[in-house]
Amino acid sequence: MPKTLIIAEKPSVMADLSRSLAKHLGKFEKKGKSLDARYFENDEAIITSAVGHLVELKMPTGPNGKNLPWKFDVLPAIPGSFELQPIEKTEGRLRHVLKQARRKDVDLIVNACDAGREGELIFQYILDIGDIDKPVKRLWMQSMTTGAIQRAWDTLRNGEDMGDLADAAKCRSESDWLVGLNSTRALTCFRSRHGGFNITAAGRVQTPTLAILAKREAEIQAFNPTPYAEIHAEFGVNAGDYSGRWIDPAWKKDPANPLSRAERIWDKEEAERIRARCEGKTGAVTEEKKPTKQISPQLYDLTTLQREA
């Protein structure tokens, strides 16, 4: 009987799919003795998973076919075509996923990796390195709730429709490889020109992120503290005492002064005048209560938590 192979991005999603899709496909049985060989199966489908990236772009070789030397004269390293290789620490898991994909009873493969460019890349690299040529569908899940998974299963997308996203993912991966490898080697060669080996990593994400930290540190070092005052008071009412803080009702955000706040008073004399106006005085306050109902939010699933972060 033909079966559908569902490939998730990580084991936790594989387990969620086995529970959520039981309504559509029937109860799944856990199989596999080792963690690398763990999967779920029933009469209709097989559910397995990667553990993030299983495949990476192969490092370039030098003119003699050996490892590329750390020298300026071999840069830039731009291969005629990009080759793939298994990631060493997850090679066992890759062999398991490809074994399931090559089964003769599997006639359809469903990409259930994360909905996005990176999930598409993980799946496509698995098919590419294994030379798998079987029909593909896309399970596009917006969250990992049971309802969301079942709705995504009811509206499976054609694999051909994801071609542009897959191409974008591969372009990003290859450009990262080119920028990261060549810039890292160039900077390292430059810093090691007087002797030693001073490796200096650089990359599309790493370098701008480091620049953000460096910029913030420079701002901290150049910061000039400016004193300001806040007025806090204890108020006595029939229901009991409470603490309050003065807020300027006319305050507006000033782009030219990012330190400005409604509660901050930059003129000490002005702060003293406000304190004198209020200290020991009486006044009338009103309290208004309106009952409202609010449904408690659902607990985070992993995808929603990542999106929020």
Measure the CA–CA gap between 280 and 235, rounded to whole angstroms: 10
Radius of gyration, alpha carbons of the chain? 30
For residue 110, give the DSSP letter.
Answer: E
Q: What is the pLDDT of residue 76?
A: 92
Q: What is the pLDDT of residue 259?
A: 87
Q: Domain spanning 3-166: which CATH class is it, in words?
A: alpha beta
Angle CA 38–25–298, to nearest 5: 80
pTM summary value: 0.74
CA distances from 290 to 239, 253, 260, 287 (A): 18, 30, 32, 10
Residues in a beta bridge with 39: 31
Q: What is the pLDDT of residue 52?
A: 96
Measure the CA–CA gap between 107 and 105, rounded to whole angstroms: 6
Measure the CA–CA gap between 5 and 14, rounded to whole angstroms: 12
The HSE-up count of residue 19 (CA atoms within 13 Å, CB side) is 10
pLDDT by 10s per residue, the chain, length 309: 899 999 999 999 999 999 999 999 999 999 998 888 999 999 999 999 999 999 999 988 876 667 888 899 989 999 989 999 999 999 999 999 999 999 999 999 999 999 999 999 999 999 999 999 999 999 999 888 899 999 999 999 999 999 999 999 999 999 999 999 999 999 999 999 888 888 999 999 899 999 999 999 999 999 888 999 999 999 888 878 889 999 999 999 988 888 899 999 999 999 999 999 989 888 887 778 899 998 888 888 777 787 788
Measure the CA–CA gap between 246 and 271, rounded to whole angstroms: 10
Domain ranges of the chain: 3-166, 174-219, 224-283
| Burial 151-189, CB ≥16 within 10 A → b, else e | ebbeebeebeebeebbeebbeebeeebbbbbbbbbbbbb
Provide φ and ψ at 2, rounded to 5°: -60, 145
Q: What is the pLDDT of residue 229?
A: 95
